[in-house]
Chain A
């Protein structure tokens, strides 16, 4: 689905990582961990074409992601849902409109009927008409998750989604991602929250990848 081959990424003269190989298979669940600044966010951004590799190849659903094929990259991104730690919304649109934004952009208004169910699933049915600045951190993360999954993407990339929320909310969010994985979605959950990864043990069959010293170490063992 998403494949990185011998990928390197440099910020200016600084080499963030190199020789990274990664293959995300359908229905798999991955935790991506590593110390702050190791490049977890960068690696995820490479996976959905928000950044482009300095060397090596990145492909999503068989399409190479590179700056020369911007429209193709945008279309590949429609099959990837992204949840950020600092979730960005369009603050002048309501929660419901923000969640429906991927449908608007891709012209798939036929799926708008799922909006209410989706908002109820993430527990935000009552805040649908509110503007994003009035939401709490946990609510924002759930809105971001709802927006990421409304088009029923094949892959969900969650970048530190529990970074700004309490344990209960983190557990709840993890539960939602596991539900999605159970329905066949591929999940990559970037976090440095080891207690949360340990908590997932026994709940989901996941693989842990660790980004450290410029290399991606695949733990190999399932949780």
Chain B
């Protein structure tokens, strides 16, 4: 099907349209189905893309973050910390290294243990924050060298956290598009079913149109345009309702309070325009394929 054919379908033939009566429940069924599926698609995309974005944000926070930990049970923790700092400041691939102060440790623990924690009384590890050089380095090798040079010092590049988060983000994105794919499959099924009902209930009309010389293309086009428009406008209404519902449920203050990203921040909402377009295109292709096949079976 070329672009010209799509334009012709969208432009339509008013007279051909008028020939097919608008009756029966298929009109409402297709529009409502497209609206409901678009509504669900907005929610599925919102949930999955938010999860994906959150995992990405965590992964981004962790990427490039390298910490050296000197556990509390290492004898002479302060001396080992200084030795590790000296080693790191001379190591290749390290731009900067600094010991995390007691105040900073307090701030890190505050969300779990509250303010004014007596850090000097708690058995806490000493932490050194390492800023990698721009050119990067092999931090696995650096960790091995550090442990050999300064026994008790442990380098953590957080890759054990980073990798699963990146994988989780990818899975969430796959889940989103997979769910949209399933919704499209449901739409194809329902549009085909509705088109079948419509063609059967208009058997007499088809007979009259054939009697006066209508080709299958002419008859099919009237059905195709009708179902395309129902798919398009139904999904547009469903998408709009879905967006409004999400705006009502996930407010910016709630999002900030829970630390969750907004589902469709800023211009990302414009992606939702593709839901009705996809719905209309799906209805167009499904009806066109089905109508031609069905018309061959109607004598």
Contacts and interface: CB of A to CB of B under 8 A. Distances in A.
B213 A90 contact: no
A50 B215 contact: no
A111 interface: no
B207 A88 contact: yes
Contacts of B217: 71
Nearest to B14: A104
B212 A101 contact: yes
Interface in B244-275: none
Interface string A92-121: 110001000110111000000000000000
A102 B218 CA distance: 12
Nearest to A84: B211
A90 B211 contact: no
Contacts of A91: 21
Interface string B198-213: 0000001101111111
A70 B205 contact: no
B221 to A, nearest CB: 11
Question: Which range holds the interface residue count of chain B?
Answer: 20 to 34
B11 interface: no
A88 B211 contact: yes
B214 interface: yes
Interface stretch (A5-13, A72-80, A186-194): A72-80
A70 B296 contact: yes
A74 B208 contact: no
B215 A147 contact: no
Contacts of A104: 15-16, 19
Given A88-B204, A89-B208, A93-B19, A105 B214 contact: yes
Contacts of A50: 210-211, 299
Contacts of A147: 212
B293 to A, nearest CB: 12
B216 interface: yes
Nearest to A102: B212
A82 interface: yes
A51 interface: yes
Contacts of B19: 90, 93, 101, 104-105
Contacts of A92: 21
B214 A74 contact: yes
B213 A105 contact: yes
Contacts of B204: 88
Closest 4 pairs (CB-CB, A-B) = A78-B213, A102-B212, A104-B15, A74-B215
Interface of A: 50-51, 70-71, 74-75, 77-78, 82, 88-93, 97, 101-102, 104-106, 147, 151
